Amino acid sequence: MIELGTLSLFLVAVLSLFLSPGPNMAFVLSHGIALGPRAGFAAGLGIAAADLVHTLCAATGVTALVAAWPPSFDLLRYAGALYLLWLAWQALRSGGASVPAHAERSGFARVVRRAWLNNLVNPKALLFFVVFLPQFVDPARGGVPAQLAVLGVTLSLAGLGFNTALGACSGMIGRSLQRRRDAAGFQRGLLATVMICLALRLLLIDRPSKGF
């Protein structure tokens, strides 16, 4: 199995990636500020669940097959961009409802599904599991699929812990904003803006030179 030193190095690398601003961080922050700490946690849970699916696909070779099909990169990013734009529209069309009511309607499970699907259709996330995880695999120490599974589960759990803390902090910010009269509109606008920016990011990213 994986050496303790290798696993420790992997965790350090993963933590540095978590601390770098990216789409997952933006997704968790925006939902926490707009809908409260519970929604921030739900977003983190959805991302972790999607990471487990990515792990399963990487360990079984499905990810490599998808990456080997050239049109898959564009199909995934266009689907992801459309989904994010739909989320932005949903945030804007909520009208004058207060944030707590909107959060209640969204529901915990709904935010989990949003984050899960958003991560699944992100081609960069798929490529990450193809390129990053294998760097910490040593074929001489046992089965490669098993090592990939351990690394992926470790990544998912670490990400869940990080995003839970991030969601809690952003949720407290959102609660403090609720004291303002115009808070509901601001929070809906923030959520919609972040979703639009993430959609544009997907549309503008370059196709990688290796894979896809």
Predicted confidence at residue 103, as pLDDT, reads 44
Cα–Cα distance for residue pair 30/190, rounded to 1 Å: 7
Percentage of the chain modeled with pLDDT above 90: 40
pLDDT of the residue at 105: 45
Contact between 31 and 110 under an 8 Å Cβ cutoff? The reply is no
Note the pTM of the prediction, 2 decimals.
0.84
pLDDT band for 97, please (50, 70, 90 cuts): very low
Mean pLDDT across the chain, nearest whole number? 84
Other residues' Cβ atoms within 10 Å of the Cβ of residue 71: 8
Q: How far apart are CA 7 and CA 211, in angstroms?
A: 25
Both tokens of residue 101? 């009511």
Please tell me the predicted confidence (pLDDT) of residue 174.
Answer: 79
Under the banding of pLDDT at 50, 70 and 90, the label for residue 104 is very low
pLDDT digits (tens, 9 = 90+) for 46-85: 999 999 999 999 999 888 787 777 788 888 889 989 999 9
pLDDT at position 210 over 60: no
More confident residue, 105 or 145: 145
pLDDT at 111 > cutoff 50 = yes
| Per-residue 3-state assignment (H helix, E strand, C coil) for 44-61 | HHHHHHHHHHHHHHHHHC
CA dist 101 and 97 (Å) reads 6
Say whether pLDDT at 100 is over 50: no
Q: Where are the domains of the chain?
A: 22-204
Work out whether the CA dihedral 157, 54, 202, 212 comes out positive or negative.
Answer: positive
Instruction: With CA atoms as reference, report the closest residue to 32 among 198, 161, 120, 164.
Output: 164
Per-residue pLDDT tens for 117-173? 999 988 888 888 888 888 899 888 778 899 999 999 999 999 999 999 999 999 888
Residue 158 contacts residue 14 (beta carbons within 8 Å): yes
Residues 8 and 3: their CA atoms lie apart, in Å, by 9
Span 75-100, average pLDDT: 78
Q: Which two tokens stand for residue 67?
A: 């990456």
What band does 45 get if pLDDT is binned at 50, 70 and 90? very high
**pLDDT at site 64:** 79
Burial class (CB in 10 A: 0-12, 13-18, 19+), 182: exposed
Name the phi and psi angles at 198, rounded to 5: -65, -35
pLDDT at 183: 62
Q: How many residues does the chain have?
A: 212
Are 39 and 171 a contacting pair, CB within 8 Å? yes
Query: pLDDT, tens digit, for every residue of 157-207?
Result: 999 999 999 999 998 887 777 666 556 677 788 888 999 999 998 888 876
Burial class (CB in 10 A: 0-12, 13-18, 19+), 43: buried
Architecture of domain 22-204: Up-down Bundle (1.20)
DSSP state of 20: S
